[in-house]
């Protein structure tokens, strides 16, 4: 059985992101996967990297203390699925804060001779499900940081066998038909992950 950590980052339960989150969890559970459903907002995750945490960031023996439960959940995952909206061409602060506070030295990577080495190699499947208010071209012109972080940085520390980045662009003008089609695409992709 595959164990998936689903990280959800949207504060509103009536949002389209919440519908995407629900669909991801539903499909993975239907496949028989064990799903650790982490709704960062509902769980009250604090995205703020404190002064003390930053000062102790490279102390592998103690750096995970403030976020130990989240580290344990990440280390138990064989699949990581991120569900989030893109706001201002970036992650919601709560998800960016998760990366800052949980993707620590000794957790997501290790330093060897000044080089970053992957440390989440037990994560064999990686996916992101997201929406952008603007068009694909606007995201491209802005550098599309979320896509690059997932497909380069998170991919690097995991080295997954399968990786998917599913994005609905131009959400601000998306019709019901377009949203429904994207939900169906997410279902298909989660079936194949």
CATH of the domain at 105: 3.40.50.360
d(CA 165, CA 13): 22
Tell me the pLDDT tens digit for each residue of 144-187: 999 999 999 999 999 999 999 999 999 999 999 999 999 999 99
d(CA 145, CA 60): 28
Count other Cβ atoms within 10 Å, centred on residue 20: 24
Parent domain of 41: 3-192
Closest CA to 90 of 28, 155, 160, 139: 139
How high is the pLDDT of residue 42?
A: 98
How high is the pLDDT of residue 89?
A: 94
How high is the pLDDT of residue 91?
A: 98
Torsion from C-alpha of 71, 19, 3, 155, nearest 10 degrees: -60
How high is the pLDDT of residue 38?
A: 98
Cβ pair 127, 27 in contact under 8 A: no
**Checking DSSP bridges between strand 162-168 and strand 125-132, what pairing results, if any?**
parallel
How sure is the predictor about 133, in pLDDT bands with cuts at 50, 70 and 90? very high
DSSP 8-state symbol, 32: T
How high is the pLDDT of residue 65?
A: 96
How high is the pLDDT of residue 75?
A: 98
* For residues 15-27, average pLDDT: 98
Is 57 in a helix, a strand, or coil?
coil
How high is the pLDDT of residue 1?
A: 86
Tell me the pLDDT tens digit for each residue of 35-66: 999 999 999 999 999 999 999 999 999 999 99
How high is the pLDDT of residue 29?
A: 98
Tell me the pLDDT tens digit for each residue of 55-106: 999 999 999 999 999 999 999 999 999 999 999 999 999 999 999 999 999 9
Question: Phi/psi zone of residue 106: left (φ > 0), alpha (ψ -120 to 50 degrees), beta?
Answer: left
Query: What is the tally of structural domains in the chain?
Result: 1
Cβ pair 81, 2 in contact under 8 A: no
């Amino acid at each position: 059985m595959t164990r998936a950590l689903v990280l959800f980052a949207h504060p509103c339960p009536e949002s389209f992101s919440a519908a995407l989150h629900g669909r991801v969890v539903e499909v993975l559970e239907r496949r028989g996967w064990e799903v650790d459903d982490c709704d960062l907002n509902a769980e009250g995750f604090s995205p703020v990297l404190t002064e003390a945490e930053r000062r102790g960031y490279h102390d592998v023996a103690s750096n995970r203390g403030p976020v130990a439960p989240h580290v344990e959940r990440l280390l138990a995952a064989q699949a990581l699925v991120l569900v989030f909206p893109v706001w201002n061409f970036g992650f919601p602060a709560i998800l960016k804060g998760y990366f800052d506070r949980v993707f620590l030295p000794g957790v997501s990577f290790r330093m060897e001779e000044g080089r970053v080495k992957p440390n989440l190699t037990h994560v064999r499947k990686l996916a992101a499900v997201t929406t952008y208010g603007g068009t694909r071209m606007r995201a491209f012109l802005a550098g599309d940081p979320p896509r690059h972080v997932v497909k380069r940085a998170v991919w690097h520390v995991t080295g997954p066998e399968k990786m998917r980045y599913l994005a609905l662009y131009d959400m601000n003008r998306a019709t019901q038909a377009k949203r429904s089609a994207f939900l169906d695409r997410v279902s298909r992709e989660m079936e194949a992950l």
